[in-house]
Amino acid sequence: MSTELIWPAPAATMPVRARLDVVAVDSTGAVVEAPTVDDAAVFLAGAAVTTGTVVLRNWEALAADPAAGLLRDLLATFGTYVVRSAEGLTCTSRATSGHLDGVDHDLTAAPGLAGIAVVLAALADSPSSLHGVSEAPRVAEVLENVTALGGDATVRAGVVEIVPGPLRAGAWQSHGDPRLGAFGAVLGLVIPGVRIAGLSPDAPGLRPFLKAWRWAMTADENILPGTSTGTVPYYG
C-alpha cells in the first residue's frame, strides 16, 4: 500500500466541545452529499469518547429518519446525556473520566450505526453485545481493525461481542472507504498514534468532513446542555 495514502488520525488534546452542522463523511466529485444519521453518529461519538459536548445544529433535517431515534437510544445506553433543543441535538458525556457503559443493544433496524457502535463498545468499561448487525455493512472490517489494535471483538451465534481492553496505536485499514476511516478517527481521538491507511487527507471527498472534524476538535466552545429555550430532554 502506498505510504502516501495515510491519514494520521489526530488525537484530542481537549474534550470535543463544538456546535456544528453535520456534513457527509464522503462527498464524491463535485457533488456535496446530504448528511445522514450515520454521519451524525460520528460527530456525536467524538463528544462521547472525549468527555465533551457536541451540538448538531441541523438535526431537524435528520430527525424524521427512523434511525435518528435509534441513535439517541444507543448513545444514551452507552451512558451519554442526549437532549433536543432549539439549537439542535446535544450529546454530552456524563462522566468526566470518559466512562462509557457496555451495552446489550439491538441495531437490526439501523445497521448503519453498527460500525460506530463497535468503536464505542471497544472504549467502554464493560463488555457489549450488539444484535442484528453481524452482516451489516463494514462490521467485519471494523471488527478486524479493533482486533488488530488489541481489542477483543468477535461474532458468536450472530451476535457481535466486544470485550474492552487496552488498545494500542497502529494502522486502521480503511480499504479506501471514508466512513471506515471516520470510525478509525473516532478511536484515534483517545488512542494516540492511530493511522488511517488507504485514505489521503487531501482526497476531495473527505474535505468537507475533515474541515468540520478539525473545527470540532479545536472549537472548545462553552456549552451547557439543556440550557437552550425549548429544550426537550430525551434522557435525564
Mean pLDDT along residues 52-71: 96
Match 484530542 to its residue by C-alpha cell.
Answer: 12
Which residue has 468537507 as its cell numbers? 208
Residue 160 has pLDDT above 80, yes or no: yes
Q: What is the pLDDT of residues 37-58, one digit of tens each?
A: 999 999 999 999 999 999 999 9
pLDDT(233) > 50: no
- Helical H runs in 134-204? 139-148, 178-190
Report the residue count for the chain: 236
pLDDT band at 232 (very low <50, low <70, confident <90, very high): very low
Can you give the C-alpha Rg of the chain in angstroms?
Answer: 16
- SS3 state at 80: strand
Confidence bin at 225 (pLDDT 50/70/90): low
What is the C-alpha separation between 65 and 235, in angstroms, rounded?
19
What would the pLDDT profile of 184-219 be if each residue is shown by its tens digit? 999 999 999 999 999 988 877 788 899 999 999 999
pTM: 0.91
CATH of domain 6-226: 3.65.10.10
| Local structure of 160: helix, strand or coil | strand
The answer to whether 75 and 100 have CB atoms below 8 angstroms apart is: no
Q: Which three cell numbers mark 41?
A: 453518529
